[in-house]
Amino acid sequence: MLTETRRDKKIINIKLLFRKYFVFQRRLSHQNTGPVPDS
């Protein structure tokens, strides 16, 4: 039970991180209309 809830929390955290990352990338692309360099 504990491991299941912990795993669910981890999945939720990962989803939130991905959403933040995509919003950040979109904001960057709006500011910077130039080509994005590959790191």
Q: How far apart are CA 39 and CA 7, in angstroms?
A: 31
Single out the residue of 25, 7, 28 nearest to residue 17, CA to CA.
Answer: 25
Both structure tokens of 35: 């080509």
With a CB cutoff of 8 Å and minimum separation 6, the contacts of 28 are 36
Contact 29, 36 (CB under 8 A): yes
Contact 38, 31 (CB under 8 A): no
pLDDT on residue 35 = 62
pLDDT on residue 16 = 96
pLDDT on residue 3 = 77
pLDDT on residue 11 = 93
Tens of pLDDT, residues 1-39: 677 789 999 999 999 999 999 999 888 877 766 565 665
pTM (predicted TM-score)? 0.52
